[in-house]
Structure 1
Amino acid sequence: MSNALTIASLPTVDSGSVDSLDRYLRVIKTFPVLTAEEEHDYATRLKTTGDLDAAKGLIMSHLRLVASIARGYSGYGLPQADLIQEGNIGLMKAVRRFDPDRGVRLVSFAIHWIKAEIHEYIVRNWRLVKVATTKAQRKLFFNLRSMKQGSGSLQPDEVAHIARELKVKPEEVLEMEARMGGHEISLEGDSDDDSESHFSPIAYLPDPAAEPSQWLAEQQSEQSQMDGLANALDSLDERSRRIVQARWLHEGSGATLHDLAAEFGVSAERIRQIEQKAMQKMKSMIATA
């Protein structure tokens, strides 16, 4: 399935226009929801013959699902239209990988891909999420708003409950709440007067990369590590590479063993074995690079 052709076939929405978003939402509601038989027929045609009209039918019928999921991420300060467009990319990835013979409806299979693409977009574009570096912290980032009761500060019992449910420390819950609720301050300052520039916050930040040779060495080291990882991934077969990327190299919540077991039609234990073997091979390649 050609991404360019599929994207061109979708109705578009202007991220800077409320009217455009409203019009888009009205349009996608006119696309019929497929029956199980129609969905199976479209998916079979796509899988066996690469029928792009069938792919378009599957995508169009699920655009309202993407819009509904994207609405749940409206609290992150990013344009709703952009969230929808990113979710549509996730939907297209799901359609491309969907197997109609597994007995699962596309809606159940596509939700993970739609959310994963939206998560990745938020991670790339919202600076505050950079504090969430572990899986547990990312889970906290994406669930704190929905678990918080009311708009005020978290109460001690709420903090304890959230920390317990998400398996993080209470201190991490409080820190994330403070970062998400805080106001950003311009590092450069607002004054156009050069004489006032030394009062800007940026004037008090040390520059750890002031030495050009040190900066170059760090850049070369980072690039070498990325090249090593890319080469190690390229050495894997397609299934192993997909498993490693979905489990460990995907922004946001990684796929579970059971998610991948359903995708490939094998047991979760088999996925774990493939993952373990792939990781060992990659570590060996990186170590000898």
Structure 2
Amino acid sequence: MGTQLQQQMTLVPHGGLDGYIQGVNRIPVLSAPEEKSLAERLQTEGDLEAARQLVMSHLRFVVHIAKGYSGYGLPQADLIQEGNIGLMKAVKRFDPSVGVRLVSFAVHWIKAEIHEYVLRNWRMVKVATTKAQRKLFFNLRKAKKRLGWFNQDEIEQVASDLGVSPHEVVEMESRMSAHDQAFDLSSDDDEGNSNFAPALYLEDKSSDVALQHEQSDWERNASQQLSRAMSGLDERSQHIISSRWIDEQKATLQELADHYGVSAERVRQLEKNAMKKLKLAMAA
């Protein structure tokens, strides 16, 4: 299912990352009953169209998670692509009878794929992060005259040959000589060991990504609802509500009364009526 589905879908950001993100954010979020129905079709019938809808509706969630790994110096589009692979694996294994939402189940699979990608590339990223460092990295091995550390004369000679400073040669040699650290703690590591493995700090566990995404989605929907409700008010009511509740510099009743040439009590009544209309429109 995974290979067939991947062939049918364009899950890799093409034509600009911003455009891709805007596109996936426009895809509607599935309700719980819709999600369960699609998952059951996939599980019992192997329905690829159901799988496609499940994946597409959760692409925005992958983008949200991938942003949390931007500090590793890796292309955001690649992080999203790896996360999308994890999402497809999650969709394939999702059991709707368990009673949890797909977004909660998929977190593990999305992060697992992103973690693998980060770990595959982290060594290379740390060794050479700029064009000059990459040039030094690929030429330093050829420049070595013997095994072991350079002496001062060799450092000066390599720096002169490659057109870099002696300090950069020393730093790059140190990076190249460093050992990769295991992702997990070895079996003989005790709990009091202060040298924590990447498995303990690669992921930020201080926040619930699913909850953050849900909150962000709720705020966006609420903002859209408010905008539609405001458009149903007359121009004066819109101005009063904006001035009293939305604008950074809030206006007083008297300031609005002076602006419209009416009493402050009249402005208060207009504000009250406008608020009632907004609540009704947003509840509809």
Query: Which range, TM-score by smaller chain?
Result: 0.3 to 0.5
Which of structures 1 and 2 has the bigger CA Rg?
2
TM-score, with length taken from structure 1: 0.46
TM-score, with length taken from structure 2: 0.47
